[in-house]
């Protein structure tokens, strides 16, 4: 892998992991469209580690107070939503279970059949329309502090669909949170908090697989480091911007983007099929 390829893919991961546009779709399609070889397991792990680092750094204080409050410890600086919802840590833990189960059961299908450009294009369009509906119909009158266990579990069940390329973890969880009447910023914040253990679990599983296969592939040391660093920095910037963006803006742009991108992918897949 060339360094410019590593930088481009890491930038793409950092931008698309936290926006509701599907990072898996962009990363699966980029090598196909540009004629590059698949980036391989080592680089996939680097990207997972980079985005995990992004959410851990950005939400470090949130996680600290969530953990403390989950064990009955409250500090003066504890955010109001954590004080109002002291069981949120455990609700997040329970809501993570569905995506773990589905990821294990559908691993082979996801990595083969569901990586088809046709599936990706269809999911980009379908979930884009779901996001548009949720953004329009949600009452947006609920904060994180008012979330119930049923709210968190519903969003956790929806996150399980994110194993399908083209869905977008942030897209489906934000849409579901909006349909549970969370305001846009709270929906995104909860989506990012919920993604932390899921991304961490995926990274841990991938690291284990890499260790079984003998470690980082030859010549991948520098791309591996660049992948982590660039995707982490980009992810932190995108999280900060997106949360501010949602305070005053709707998700309409991302709906249009997903539908247009999905149609483009379906047309390209028809006129330029993947080589056998």
pLDDT one-digit tens code per residue, 10-32: 999 999 999 999 988 888 787 77
Residues composing the chain = 276
Distance CA 258, CA 174 (A): 15
Distance CA 13, CA 15 (A): 5
Question: Which residues of the chain carry a pLDDT beneath 70?
Answer: 38-41, 111-113, 273-276
What pLDDT is attached to residue 183?
Answer: 96
Q: Quick check: 93 and 153 in contact, CB under 8 A?
A: no
Q: Which residue(s) pair with 142 in the sheet?
A: 182
Distance CA 152, CA 180 (A): 9
Distance CA 234, CA 214 (A): 29
Number of Cβ atoms within 10 Å of the Cβ of 59: 17
Instruction: Tell me the pLDDT tens digit for each residue of 208-230.
Output: 877 887 777 777 788 889 999 99
Q: Quick check: 106 and 162 in contact, CB under 8 A?
A: no
pTM reported for the whole predicted model: 0.91
What pLDDT is attached to residue 111?
Answer: 65
Q: Could you tell me how far CA 253 lies from the centroid of its own chain? A: 18
What pLDDT is attached to residue 276?
Answer: 45
The two three-digit tokens of residue 189, written as one number: 């914040």
Q: Could you tell me how far CA 224 lies from the centroid of its own chain? A: 20
User: Which of 112, 99, 59, 90 is CA-nearest to residue 205?
Assistant: 99
Distance CA 143, CA 189 (A): 10
**Dihedral of the CA atoms 76, 82, 85, 91 (nearest 10)?**
-140
Distance CA 229, CA 233 (A): 6
What pLDDT is attached to residue 141?
Answer: 93
User: Which of 48, 12, 13, 22 is CA-nearest to residue 165?
Assistant: 22
């Amino acid at each position: 892998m060339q360094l410019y390829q590593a930088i481009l893919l890491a930038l793409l991961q950092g931008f698309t992991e936290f926006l509701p546009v599907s990072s898996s779709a962009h990363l699966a399609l980029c090598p196909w469209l540009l004629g590059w070889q698949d980036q391989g397991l080592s680089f996939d792990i680097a990207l997972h580690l980079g985005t995990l680092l992004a959410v851990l750094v950005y939400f470090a204080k949130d996680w600290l107070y969530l953990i403390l409050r989950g064990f009955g410890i409250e500090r003066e600086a504890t955010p109001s939503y954590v004080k109002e919802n002291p069981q949120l840590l455990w609700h997040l833990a329970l809501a993570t279970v569905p995506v773990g189960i589905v990821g294990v059961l559908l691993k082979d299908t996801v990595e083969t059949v569901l990586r088809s450009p046709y599936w990706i294009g269809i999911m980009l369009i379908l979930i884009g329309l779901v996001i548009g509906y949720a953004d329009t119909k949600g009452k947006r009158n609920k904060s994180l502090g008012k979330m119930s266990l049923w709210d968190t579990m519903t969003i956790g069940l929806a996150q399980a669909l994110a194993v399908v390329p083209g869905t977008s973890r942030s897209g489906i969880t934000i849409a579901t949170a909006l349909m549970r009447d969370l305001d846009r910023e709270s929906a995104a914040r909860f989506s990012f908090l919920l993604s932390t253990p899921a991304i961490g679990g995926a990274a841990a599983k991938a690291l284990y697989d890499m260790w079984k296969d003998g470690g980082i592939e030859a010549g991948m040391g520098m791309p591996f480091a660049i992948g982590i660093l660039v995707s982490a920095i980009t992810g932190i910037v995108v999280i900060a911007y997106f949360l501010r963006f949602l305070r005053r803006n709707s998700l309409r742009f991302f709906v249009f983007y997903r539908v247009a991108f999905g149609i483009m992918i379906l047309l390209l897949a028809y006129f330029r099929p993947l080589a056998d």
